[in-house]
Structure 1
Amino acid sequence: MEDSATHARLRMGTTMPAESFNASVFLVDRLVETGHGDRVAVAGPMGTMTYAQLAAHVAELAGGLRVMGVRPEERVLLVLPDRPETLITILAVMRMGAVAVPVSPLYDGAELGHLIRDSRARVVVSAPEFEPAVQEALLSAPEVVALVLTDASPPGPGNLPRGPAVTGAGQAAAVETGVPVCPWSDLLEAGRGVTGPYDTCPDSPALWLHTSGTTGAPKAVVHRHGALRDVHEAYGRQVLGLRPEDRCLSVARMSFAYGLGNSMIFPLAAGATTILDPARPTPGGVVERLLEERPTLFFAGPSFYAALLAAQAPEDAFASVRLAVSAGETLAPELHRRLTARFGVDVVDGLGSAEALHIFLSGRPGQARPAGSGTAVPGYELRLLDDSGTPVPDGEPGHLYVRGDSIAAGYWCRTSATRQAFQGEWLRTGDTCARDADGSYRFLGRADDLIKVGGVRVSPMEVESRLLEHASVAECAVVAHVAAGGPERPVACVVPAPGRPIDADELIGFCREALADAECPREVLVLDELPKTPTGTVQRVVLRQLAADLLGK
């Protein structure tokens, strides 16, 4: 017979395995409870905040969301820049047992409308500068009952703005969409002393992160509370070696897996400081942050590192940085060489995905290893298989599979895609790699991006590495082009270095000096910039269409 307490837990939907675990408590309350509440948790142009102050605001907002009627395991969608309120909101949603869905504020109204409908979110949290796009999105999202807007003025150090208390979303003023608007600070006031953390377990849903959408509409990846602890133990502690005195600055935003780890999971789990800047990252703005905030860890993608070099960032920009991390795409060896030569900073390259929550294949600090290669992050296993599922020998390209505790449960409402990618304990990443004799892995590109030339599979990364060695090339991407039903052929899409015109014949000849004939570009397209996703990943599908439009189908 079940006792009355068990019946009560069943009625409340809170029957849990032996271990209770809440990611928000792990990241914030744990530091306060162990006597480290006076450490600086958040820094940057929006002000500073200690762990004690952060914990108080997170608890208040969690209570305010509960008062508003948000329920455990219900999705709350965030359209916010990287500012303290964003960090607080993600943590508060997880604390109260709901599911945080941060999405890029760069999406337009139609795209946001799709994401809101797909997530079934009833509450959306945004900032005033993005309200027009959000209001447009709400016209096609009839299930939303409240829009929460952060305050227009930045909070002071540790003190977020206050407003009159609310007792529910229905008391806020309505707008033309018919969706009530509630000030974010009102929720803080309403939630003071309302509730403690919800009794979640490691397998409870914590947040959704969307794939970059390079080959189609973004898919929502479902992550559990325990995965945030797992990914810190694997990468944050054992690869980055994060410690309380570290200060983390990330170009990648918290609406994506890479940025969320850099700006929330890793620094908070280590009791360190995250530096948040809501401004859209530019070389000039990031250099200003580097010089003013003195971070010890810096995170970006290859495209942004190339932009820093093109903008001729000062040589002492990375003087405080003990380790720089690159991910999102492969860091070409030549770009790696330029970075280390100019800035004298240790740069490690990593491969990860939204499905794995962060990086699972990485170089190591202080180890001389070519960019674009690395070994499995502790806690993960890798294998390379051919099209039939047979392991490939060293040196041969294969489909990369990864196994580890942080792997997601699957895609939301994408059964077919989930079954293709999540195969038992293994995730098929969609990447193609080769394993060298020393046990390291070389990233060759996404499986769909490999180019078949005369029966030879050409890695775009190998060609791009050569192109970047030319002084006239700032950025590049190589894609396949098929004309009039003929064979695939490589086409180089290049962005010229400032003041350096591109000579297509010279560039092709430069490639022929070092590459096999199959690898050499047949055409060169000169572009002002490469099309990228909000994460900074090159949209090769767009470049393939551009090549078809310009060179003929």
Structure 2
Amino acid sequence: MTNASIYLLDRRLDEGEGGGDRIALAGVAGETTYAELHDRVRRTAGGLRRAGLRPEQRLLMVMADSPEFVTVFLAALRIGAVPVPVSTMVRTDGLVELLRDSRARFLATTAEFATLAAAGAAGAPELERLLGPQELGELAAGDPDDEVYPTAADSPAFWLYTSGTTGRPKAAMHRHGSIPVVCETYARQVLGIRPDDRCLSAAKAFFAYGLGNSVLFPLSVGATAVLEPAPSKPDTIAACAQKYSATLFFGGPTFFAGMLRTGLPADALPDVRLAASAGEPLPAELYRRWTSHFGVDVIDGIGMTEMLHIFLSNRPGAVLPGTTGVAVPGYDLRILDEQGHEAPNGTPGTLFVRGDSTATGYWSRYAASRQVFQGEWLRTGDTYVRGDDGYYTCLGRTGDMLKVSGIWVAPLEVENRLLTHPAVAQAVVVGAPDADGLDKPVAYVVSRPGSTVTEHELVDHCREGIESFKRPRRVVFVDSYPTTATGKVRRVELREAARQLLKAG
């Protein structure tokens, strides 16, 4: 039998020598030992069974990062049901769509989202039960149930919805066997996670990156997950890191840039031994600024909801700034050109990956599954180039590449040049057609606090450092960017704004 809840939880108690006394969860809700978490999960599992939740039925979760989130997730796995964490930024209409799409029978929520959950439940006729804070408390207070549903490695375990920025959200369906894969590859062999680590993630647990950081990885080795239910902001996360002695810190480039802009002191992360970045490529200049200020190394990597976690990453002590590193052990990579042929080193193409944590497909999305899941390989949709040194560099999403004056331009190259200017904190470059219908680069820039710079100066700065045709035709100064629930910049909105800007001349 391969049940992920056994792998993540019961093994700690089987270790003896005080394994159950180790702290599993910490944060504003207090500390929970592995023995206490095991007891809560067994009681909640029994309560879910008695309430009528059956194997392979979906349980949608609109829950803050909290002990309740971890308990419900593990209890559902334990009885063979399928937990489906979804974005806590979802609105009522979006929640109704997810409930109907997943055909969820149960909906669990924490207090922060009780009103939202009630409104969503009213529009979901197949939903049988809404479990609010009181109901979840009653389940956890019931009799424990030691029965574990006999799942296999290939049994359905949980679903994760993609952000759906370019269309309807799609549920990637993951197996019980995928959880040990990401824990034994990236977590152990790249992060080097240890039982004495305390993991703090700015990325929330409702999507793949945060779920690994805050639940799967720490529990897999008997470490501690530091849970922060409030929305992630630089000052609150820094305070959390100090108060709970976080040693591993997870974020994304946009969040790291925000930490610098906020003006946090250099000793804001006193116990952090390593930071990890994902979600978007980490620019080399941002890497240098962040590491030099906080004195903590950052390993940039790429993962996907469809792959569960990171499969390509830099290594501690072997970071090549501006790259995404090399393949995580257990994963194979290849770059294919537009004709589907292997691209030689130095030639851009679309990145493909294969590994044992790949989702089995998208729920009720046949055409999308065929496009992304291609035999053993998964098409990432990212344009990459591999150097002679074996390091991979991201050039952006395949659809984000621009052709200017008949030559391909990677927005990331222009962004990286902009970031070398001392007045630039963040830069996002998108393409839009000008009055002649020809695509041109447009830059959206966030200035560093206290700095002043003009559009003309930044265009000249780009012209001096990269080929002239790659320079942005316009530079727009903004305070922030529109982002997805996972913190990624919504480039589609910036492209539309840029189109209107160039159209107006």
Same fold, judged at TM 0.5 (above): yes
CA contact (8 A) 2:44 2:144 kept: no
Match for residue 103 of structure 1?
Answer: 86
Measured on the aligned residues, the alpha-carbon RMSD in Å equals: 1.2
CA contact (8 A) 1:32 1:52 kept: yes
Please state whether the residue corresponding to 1:551 is helix, strand or coil.
helix
1:454-469 matches, cutoff 5 A? 454-469=405-420
> What letter matches 2:434 in structure 1?
A
C-alpha distance after superposition, 1:221-263 (max 9, x if no partner) = 0000000001111101110111101110000011010000000
Match for residue 221 of structure 2?
Answer: 270
C-alpha distance after superposition, 1:406-446 (max 9, x if no partner) = 01101111100000000111000001100100111111111
**TM, length-normalised to structure 1:** 0.89
* 1:195 CA drift (Å): 4.5
CA contact (8 A) 1:214 1:540 kept: no
CA distance in 2, matches of 1:393, 1:292: 49
Runs of 4+ in 1 over 3 A off after TM superposition: none
* 1:547 CA drift (Å): 1.4
CA distance in 1, matches of 2:20, 2:284: 42
Please state whether the residue corresponding to 1:131 is helix, strand or coil.
helix
C-alpha distance after superposition, 1:309-329 (max 9, x if no partner) = 001111112221111001000
1:512-551 matches, cutoff 5 A? 512-551=463-502
Indicate which of 51, 54, 58 corresponds to 2:41. Answer: 58
CA contact (8 A) 1:122 1:145 kept: yes
Match for residue 186 of structure 1?
Answer: 138
> What letter matches 1:358 in structure 2?
H
Instruction: Confirm whether residue 481 of structure 1 aligns to residue 464 of structure 2.
Output: no
CA distance in 2, matches of 1:317, 1:472: 23
Match for residue 100 of structure 2?
Answer: 117
> What letter matches 2:117 in structure 1?
V
CA contact (8 A) 2:312 2:328 kept: yes
Indicate which of 409, 414, 422 corresponds to 2:360. Answer: 409
Give the stretch that moved more between structures: 212-221 or 345-354. 212-221
Indicate which of 34, 38, 47 corresponds to 2:30. Answer: 47
> What letter matches 1:522 in structure 2?
R
* 1:120 CA drift (Å): 0.3
Please state whether the residue corresponding to 1:535 is helix, strand or coil.
coil
1:305-384 matches, cutoff 5 A? 305-384=256-335
C-alpha distance after superposition, 1:365-385 (max 9, x if no partner) = 011412333100000000000
C-alpha distance after superposition, 1:335-355 (max 9, x if no partner) = 000011101111100011001
C-alpha distance after superposition, 1:277-333 (max 9, x if no partner) = 101111110110111111110000000000100011111122211110010001000
CA distance in 2, matches of 1:292, 1:499: 30
Match for residue 56 of structure 2?
Answer: 73
C-alpha distance after superposition, 1:85-143 (max 9, x if no partner) = 00111111111100010001111001111111111001100122212222222232111
Match for residue 29 of structure 1?
Answer: 10
Please state whether the residue corresponding to 2:130 is helix, strand or coil.
strand
* 1:486 CA drift (Å): 1.9
CA distance in 2, matches of 1:399, 1:512: 28
Query: Is the alpha carbon distance of 1:130 and 1:193 closer, same or farther for their aligned partners in structure 2, counting shifts above 3 Å?
Result: closer
Indicate which of 253, 256, 266 corresponds to 1:302. Answer: 253
* 1:518 CA drift (Å): 2.5
* 1:498 CA drift (Å): 2.1
CA contact (8 A) 1:502 1:526 kept: no
> What letter matches 1:217 in structure 2?
R
CA contact (8 A) 1:54 1:88 kept: yes
Give the stretch that moved more between structures: 313-322 or 260-269. 313-322
> What letter matches 2:7 in structure 1?
F
Indicate which of 127, 146, 156 corresponds to 1:144. Answer: 127
CA contact (8 A) 2:157 2:174 kept: yes
CA contact (8 A) 1:248 1:296 kept: yes
CA distance in 2, matches of 1:518, 1:76: 52
Please state whether the residue corresponding to 2:177 is helix, strand or coil.
helix
Give the stretch that moved more between structures: 210-219 or 460-469. 210-219
Indicate which of 94, 114, 125 corresponds to 1:131. Answer: 114
Q: Which has the larger radius of gyration?
A: 1
Give the stretch that moved more between structures: 363-372 or 345-354. 363-372
CA distance in 2, matches of 1:269, 1:43: 16
**TM, length-normalised to structure 2:** 0.97
* 1:24 CA drift (Å): 0.7
CA contact (8 A) 2:331 2:354 kept: yes
**Identity fraction in percent:** 50
CA distance in 2, matches of 1:278, 1:189: 22
C-alpha distance after superposition, 1:22-64 (max 9, x if no partner) = 0011100111111111111001111001111111101111111
Give the stretch that moved more between structures: 213-222 or 81-90. 213-222
* 1:485 CA drift (Å): 4.8
CA contact (8 A) 1:213 1:533 kept: no
CA contact (8 A) 1:43 1:49 kept: yes
Please state whether the residue corresponding to 2:465 is helix, strand or coil.
coil
1:224-239 matches, cutoff 5 A? 224-239=175-190
* 1:520 CA drift (Å): 0.8
* 1:500 CA drift (Å): 2.6
Give the stretch that moved more between structures: 396-405 or 522-531. 522-531
Indicate which of 165, 168, 173 corresponds to 1:217. Answer: 168
CA contact (8 A) 1:80 1:105 kept: yes
CA contact (8 A) 1:77 1:101 kept: yes
Is there any run of 5+ residues in structure 1 with no aligned partner, and where?
1-19, 152-182
Match for residue 75 of structure 2?
Answer: 92
CA distance in 2, matches of 1:364, 1:338: 19
Please state whether the residue corresponding to 1:193 is helix, strand or coil.
coil
> What letter matches 2:12 in structure 1?
L
CA contact (8 A) 1:363 1:369 kept: yes
Please state whether the residue corresponding to 1:542 is helix, strand or coil.
helix
CA contact (8 A) 1:110 1:136 kept: no
Is there any run of 5+ residues in structure 2 with no aligned partner, and where?
none
Please state whether the residue corresponding to 1:239 is helix, strand or coil.
helix
CA distance in 2, matches of 1:45, 1:308: 21
CA contact (8 A) 2:402 2:409 kept: yes
* 1:502 CA drift (Å): 4.1
